[in-house]
């Protein structure tokens, strides 16, 4: 006879605080820890028919640990380079001068640099993903984006929200 599906609600009431503590310990951020803890129980709901109630605290602890470590790994993949806030600020400007500034900036750069900038700063791809897409090395992409930031700074760059140049 197959075992009944897990009672996720009961597990949440009993082990929810433990899962949140584990996530908070690893992530060091309350809001992110709450998100990951919620993700643990969502995954538990999705797979409750395949899981048994043998040692639920160990299962939840391991799930919280793995999902937290994945989140930390993702953070490192999406780290911004120094100066990225300047380019990200331009990408988010609704200012009328932004298109003129971008035309001036990109007019001095190879077409592939424009592609890299859009993929990274607008579409949110990691440097590794941009490198794969553009068939370049990560260091080559990093160098091109750094040169683009330097060119923007040399042009004086626009004032960004928050008063930063």
Tokens found for residue 94: 């609704």
- pLDDT > 90 fraction of the chain, expressed in percent and rounded: 16
Does 70 or 34 have the greater pLDDT score?
Answer: 34
Please state, in angstroms and rounded to a whole number, the distance separating the CA atoms of residues 49 and 62: 18
Q: Taking Cα atoms as reference points, which of 89, 156, 154, 165 lies closest to residue 121?
A: 89
Higher pLDDT, 7 or 76: 7
- Domains of the chain, start order: 8-77 (1.10.1740), 84-154 (1.10.10)
> Given this model, what pLDDT does residue 37 score?
93
Give the tens place of pLDDT for each residue, 11-38: 899 999 999 999 998 888 889 999 999 9
- Do 41 and 18 touch, CB atoms closer than 8 A? no
Mean pLDDT of the chain: 77
pLDDT of 162 strictly over 60? no
The pTM of the whole model exceeds 0.85: no
- The highest-confidence range among 56-60, 140-144, 146-150, 151-155, by mean pLDDT, is 140-144
d(CA 153, CA 63): 45
Polymer length of the chain: 165
């Amino acid at each position: 006879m197959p075992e009944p599906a897990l009672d996720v609600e009961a597990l949440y009431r009993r082990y929810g605080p433990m899962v949140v503590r584990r996530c908070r310990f690893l992530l060091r951020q309350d809001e992110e820890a709450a998100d990951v803890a919620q993700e643990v129980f969502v995954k538990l709901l999705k797979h409750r028919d395949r899981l048994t109630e043998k040692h639920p605290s160990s299962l939840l602890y391991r799930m919280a640990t793995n999902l937290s470590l994945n989140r930390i790994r993702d953070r490192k993949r999406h780290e911004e380079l120094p100066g990225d806030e300047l380019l990200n600020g331009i990408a988010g400007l609704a200012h009328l001068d932004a298109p003129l500034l971008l035309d001036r900036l990109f007019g001095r750069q190879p077409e592939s640099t424009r592609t890299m900038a859009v993929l990274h700063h607008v579409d949110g791809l990691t440097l590794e993903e941009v490198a794969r897409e553009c068939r370049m090395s990560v260091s080559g992409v990093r160098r091109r984006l750094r040169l683009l930031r330097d060119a923007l700074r040399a042009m004086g760059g626009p004032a960004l929200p928050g008063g930063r140049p």
